[in-house]
Structure 1
Amino acid sequence: MNTIKTKRLVIRPIENGDAEAIHVYAGSPDIDMMMFLPNETMEDTEKFVEFARSEWQKDEPEDREYVILQGSEIIGGINLEKCENRSGNTFEIGWIICRDKRGQGFATEAAMALMSYAFNELNADFVRAHCDIRNTASEGVMKKLGMTLTDGTGTRTYPKTGVTSGEYLYSINRLEYINKKH
């Protein structure tokens, strides 16, 4: 397991005692542009924590789930998932920040650190991210990461609500990442 430190944050793998703090953001009803959130019950969040911990037990986790800490407070989550059926070594990155911590650059700072980990430690060829076309904050993070819009024609249907919306796919490849000197 690996912990990543930035100027203001600690990004560490999810641990057993994290469910209550994770549920603060993962169970928030205002999270309506995330594919599988909000979690409706604490039990849903506990199942997620168990899944995340079981992934970390593998020699090569397919889904690396982290919490983002500011000091000792969990303020969000971020993940790096290995993508199947793609040319090259591709990872998808996604993040969520507690409502009262949004707009302070924490998602960008954490995503920049995890993207660096993907390219430098996991030898990623590509890192990509998806967002709902209405989620301008996440799209802004993707742009700050140096990603470019790869596909603006996608759609997503939310399993919990049945609502369909437009979806953006942003990505960056290894050469672009090196040339942007992150």
Structure 2
Amino acid sequence: MFDIKTDRLHLIPNNRKFLHSTHAYASDFEVTQFMLHLPNNSLEETEEFLRVCEENWKNYQADEFQLEFAILYEGKHVGGLGLSKDRGNPCVELGWILAKDYWHKGIAYEAAQAAIAYFAKQFQVTSFIAHCDADNKASFGLMERLGMKRKSKKTGRFNKSSQIETSELLYELDLS
């Protein structure tokens, strides 16, 4: 369960085995500048995140979860793909992050597309959402390539790396 493969990628539960590779992208300002909860400021902060990931995988429940996949490309850990669901809400939220050396190779698109297909088939999920900073053109461009439609734009977003208020976009993919 939760072993997702494509021609180029392997998505597996993220864990402390990937501490250093996760920290490499999670602490990189260029990679995380549009993120709410990143960058991580220490290896210990990344380790705690991965410990929580392991707990979330261990305590998985179909009606409420927060799962983080490690994205393996040619056997190397290059990023993460998160999926979360709140109890009582049919939508699954997607999020992704990639080490910058792997940008513009279609990896995030392929990983997200594979996760959407997997959760739609295995768990009959028909609604996926994703949020991003309105200035993160790569992220909302990916959402649009996935077939997601922009549902809203709101103010009041504060990314961890900045004290400046920005706007947030919400996209949705309805498979029903």
TM over 0.5: yes
Is structure 2 residue 92 aligned with structure 1 residue 91?
yes
Secondary structure (helix, strand or coil) at the match of 1:170 reads strand
Give the deviation of 1:62 after TM superposition: 0.9
1:107-136 Cα deviation digits (max 9, x unpaired): 100000111122221222310000111101
Show the counterpart of 1:178: none
Written as runs of structure 1 = structure 2, the 5 A alignment for 1:1-182 is 1-30=1-30, 31-60=32-61, 62-84=65-87, 86=89, 89-175=90-176
Give the deviation of 1:174 after TM superposition: 2.2
**Contact persistence 1:148–1:170 (CA under 8 A):** yes
Pairs aligned (count) = 173
1:57-81 Cα deviation digits (max 9, x unpaired): 0141611101101122111100100
**Contact persistence 2:33–2:161 (CA under 8 A):** no
1:61-104 Cα deviation digits (max 9, x unpaired): 61110110112211110010003564xx1110000011111011
Secondary structure (helix, strand or coil) at the match of 1:67 reads strand
**Contact persistence 1:129–1:169 (CA under 8 A):** yes
Secondary structure (helix, strand or coil) at the match of 1:121 reads helix
What is the CA–CA distance in structure 2 between the aligned matches of 1:84 and 1:168, rounded to whole Å? 23
What is the CA–CA distance in structure 2 between the aligned matches of 1:59 and 1:142, rounded to whole Å? 26
RMSD: 1.5
Secondary structure (helix, strand or coil) at the match of 2:154 reads strand
What is the CA–CA distance in structure 1 between the aligned matches of 2:155 and 2:4, rounded to whole Å? 32
Q: TM-score when scaled to structure 2?
A: 0.92
Unaligned runs of 5+ in 1: 176-182
2:4 partner letter:
I
Asked which structure has the greater RCO (Cα within 8 Å, sep 6+), the reply is 2
**Most deviating of 91-100 and 114-123:** 114-123
Give the deviation of 1:154 after TM superposition: 4.3
Q: TM-score when scaled to structure 1?
A: 0.89
Identify if the C-alpha distance between structure 1 residues 14 and 77 changes in structure 2 by more than 3 Å, giving closer, same or farther: same
